[in-house]
Amino acid sequence: MDLFSDIEEPEREELRALRKELEEANYKYYVLNQPTLSDRDFDEKMHRLQELEAQYPDMFDPKSPTQHVGSDLEKPHPASPQGEEKGRKAFETVKHKYPMLSLANSYSREEIEDWVRKLPAGVEIVCELKYDGLSISLWYENGKLVRALTRGDGQQGDDVIDNIKTIPSIPRYVVGTPSNFEMRGEVLLPWERFEALNKEREEQEEPLFANPRNAASGTLKLQDPKEVARRGLEAYLYYMLGEDLPGTTHYERLNTAREWGFHISDAIKVCKNVDEVMAYIAYWDTERKNLPVATDGIVLKVNNLAQQQELGYTAKTPRWAIAYKFPAEKQLTLLREITYQVGRTGVVTPVANLEPVQLSGTIVQRATLHNEDFIRSLDIRPGDRVWVEKGGEIIPKITGRENPTPTLPSREGEGFAFPTVCPECGAKLVRVEGEAAWRCPNEAGCPPQQKGKIEHFVSRKAMNIDGLGEETIDLLFRKGLLNDIADIYSLRAEDLAVQERLGDKSAQNMLAGIEASKQVPWARVLFALGIRMVGETTAKKIAKRYTSIDSLRQATTEQLCAIDDVGPQIAENIVEYFSDSRNIDILNRLQQAGLRFKGEADEGPQSDKLAGMSIVISGTFSHHSRDEYKTMIEQNGGKNVGSVSKKTSFILVGDNMGPEKRKKAEELGVKMISEDEFLEMINEN
């Protein structure tokens, strides 16, 4: 007996370790939006845990991850680092009327075929796309939206109704419905908005979202509904619950919900046999890459609602539904070397330089390694063969290395060492407590930081100075004509015209752009200064509260923290910026050059010609940029929205309008106008 106990003990230890690992992974995925395991790795570990629990029934635990869904409830976690929840909003937690369970899933088409064949004869299957977002439960009473609950722990969820109301495709009121019913669906951040959001964060050297799902989840838990609205969330609804509901099948109810005004996907099909199901999976395995939102699989549901009830549920999943998850495309390749880039705020970012490998139709040669902690967590170093995936089939990422065994002979005596000095200027790197990044403190003497600040200052959303691109800035920096942003306003035509690739005409155009930048409003000037973590939206809010640079210089951290979206770290960065004598010198020179360091009345709405209108912009334009049109809409009292719904007033259409938006507009009868018509509408042509 003792002999058998010795054999079993390692597997019992494995069971305990898996429970702990999966609980931690759930917490980091659902609450912190910082996944540590890929979906497939998580699912494989979960299946292994289920096998072990079946093997050792005496170790049953109702708190095991196999017995409940992951929880996104906003509550402290005993194993999380201190302060990780700092700044997170407390939402009211509400009990679900019907539990929100997860789905059983598989990466094997053979398993899906078996699941379908085991169903009773003649059962219809509804196939739907599995959207990769955040589950939401919408409660309607007498036609009015009264609750919007996250999945939470499956039994109760956080009420995020104020943020949900910012999503145009979710109706606040519906007509002709039962007195009480629930709609369930997925909150998503479209690829276009995800890429724009990550670009903003990259410019501010803030941590990037790993994928649209994490971005959507983080956005839905923000404190400011205005910022939620700005980011442009979308929602697809896929299930209706309640009493005395119309229809006897799932498909009928979805069509009814569509008639009531809910956003129901068009990619839903009733399949009558396994061949139709497999054909649906094969079609969307390729076609999903053309969708505007992230998907990671197919959901199969028994169509007949009575048959759903007969099949019933397990502890955490319905027996009448299953998900097939598309396997991520990944390849093994050689990690040639790790190089280090220094950003404009001094953050040192490691970059993997790879043996070229093809993924999803493109050649991948580089991938970000984020920071030192990320590299150590994967235990990778140059010379390793590493797994490369495309996150959402867009962003290359390294997920691990081949045969990750720490006892490999080739690794003995080796170890990864992050640089201790700046690779560009040689200054000793520092790591701020609570941050993952190493930073070069030599702001005034580190070339990438100096040039990066100038590039940010002249960028389109900041001072918008044409002719000063990255190459020209590098040229003028090397020639000693540009050392900081204030030097821009001391450039002379005779110095510029003699430079390589320039000339009299280029010099005059550049100087004209520099002169025009003196009319850029105060909020954009503040953004252009490049204060760490002060992005475009935050700069607008600060400029609205402090209408001049003189008043902002006097603000304390406590006063700054009273502004929406300005936390202690941002406030400290602002105070620190104004306490540096070098920055004060630059500001004085900019002020002498004539920049607008004071807000003007005309920076707000100029008219009410578009008051109450929700306007979508789609395509490319010839007269103005998209950002300029967005500003015009706001200045005339209108509201910019990211997706088309029946509440959309009209679409401002340029060339190459998105096909999905055009199709939706035609279905809903939404008016589409050209940029000439729009400019005439606001008397700007």
Q: Which of 602, 635, 659 is the last residue of a domain?
A: 602
Shared domain for 497 and 638, answered yes or no, is: no
644 pLDDT band, cuts 50/70/90, is confident
Query: Is 518 exposed, middle or buried (CB count within 10 Å of its CB: 0-12, 13-18, 19+)?
Result: middle
- Long-range contacts made by residues 543-552, C-beta under 8 angstroms, separation at least 24? 543/599, 544/599, 547/522, 547/598, 547/599, 548/522, 548/597, 548/598, 548/599, 549/522, 549/587, 549/591, 549/597, 549/598, 550/597, 552/526, 552/578
Which pair of tokens denotes residue 496? 């510029």
Average pLDDT score over residue span 290-316? 90
Shared domain for 454 and 515, answered yes or no, is: yes
How many Å apart are CA 160 and CA 139, to the nearest integer?
A: 12
Kindly report the backbone phi and psi dihedral angles of residue 125, in degrees, each rounded to the nearest multiple of 5, phi listed first. -115, 130
Shared domain for 321 and 336, answered yes or no, is: no
> How remote is the C-alpha of 476 from its chain's centroid?
36
Provide the domain limits for residue 311.
Answer: 93-325
Does 278 map to a domain? yes
Does 80 map to a domain? no
Candidate ranges 40-44, 377-381, 608-612; pick with highest mean pLDDT: 377-381
| pLDDT of 571 strictly over 90 | yes
| pLDDT of 356 strictly over 50 | yes
Does 410 map to a domain? no
Does 181 map to a domain? yes
Residues in the chain, total: 685
Candidate ranges 172-181, 367-376, 584-593; pick with highest mean pLDDT: 584-593
Does 131 map to a domain? yes
Is the Cβ–Cβ distance between 228 and 163 less than 8 Å? yes
How many Å apart are CA 334 and CA 384, to the nearest integer?
A: 6
Shared domain for 489 and 524, answered yes or no, is: yes
How many Å apart are CA 283 and CA 44, to the nearest integer?
A: 26
Shared domain for 377 and 257, answered yes or no, is: no
Shared domain for 218 and 107, answered yes or no, is: yes
Q: Is the pTM of this model over 0.75?
A: no
Counting the structural domains of the chain, the total is: 5
Other CB atoms within 10 A of residue 141 CB: 13
Average pLDDT score over residue span 645-656? 87
CATH number, residue 251: 3.30.470.30
Q: Which of 325, 345, 363 is the last residue of a domain?
A: 325
DSSP state of 104: -
**Residues with active-site annotation:** 130
CATH number, residue 357: 2.40.50.140
| pLDDT of 645 strictly over 80 | yes
Shared domain for 562 and 610, answered yes or no, is: no
What integer pLDDT is reported at residue 82 of this predicted model? Answer: 31
Average pLDDT score over residue span 490-499? 92
CB neighbour list of residue 547: distance below 8 Å, 6 or more residues apart: 522, 598, 599
Which pair of tokens denotes residue 118? 């085991």
Q: Which of 584, 602, 620 is the last residue of a domain?
A: 602
CATH number, residue 637: 3.40.50.10190
Lowest-confidence region among 203-212, 240-249, 596-605? 596-605
Does 517 map to a domain? yes
Shared domain for 182 and 197, answered yes or no, is: yes
What integer pLDDT is reported at residue 549 of this predicted model? Answer: 94
Shared domain for 187 and 318, answered yes or no, is: yes
Residue 1 identity (one-letter amino acid): M
| pLDDT of 430 strictly over 50 | yes
Is the Cβ–Cβ distance between 176 and 245 less than 8 Å? no
Percent of the chain with pLDDT strictly greater than 70? 89
Does 79 map to a domain? no
Is the Cβ–Cβ distance between 610 and 646 less than 8 Å? no
Angle between helices 212-220 and 191-203 (to 10 degrees): 80
Shared domain for 245 and 309, answered yes or no, is: yes
SS3 (DSSP) at 297: strand
What integer pLDDT is reported at residue 574 of this predicted model? Answer: 95
How many Å apart are CA 208 and CA 219, to the nearest integer?
A: 13
Is the Cβ–Cβ distance between 598 and 522 less than 8 Å? yes
Shared domain for 598 and 613, answered yes or no, is: no
Does 555 map to a domain? yes
Shared domain for 644 and 598, answered yes or no, is: no
Question: Is pLDDT larger for residue 187 or for residue 153?
Answer: 187
| pLDDT of 515 strictly over 90 | yes
Average pLDDT score over residue span 678-684? 82
CB neighbour list of residue 489: distance below 8 Å, 6 or more residues apart: 514, 589, 590, 593, 594
What integer pLDDT is reported at residue 361 of this predicted model? Answer: 63
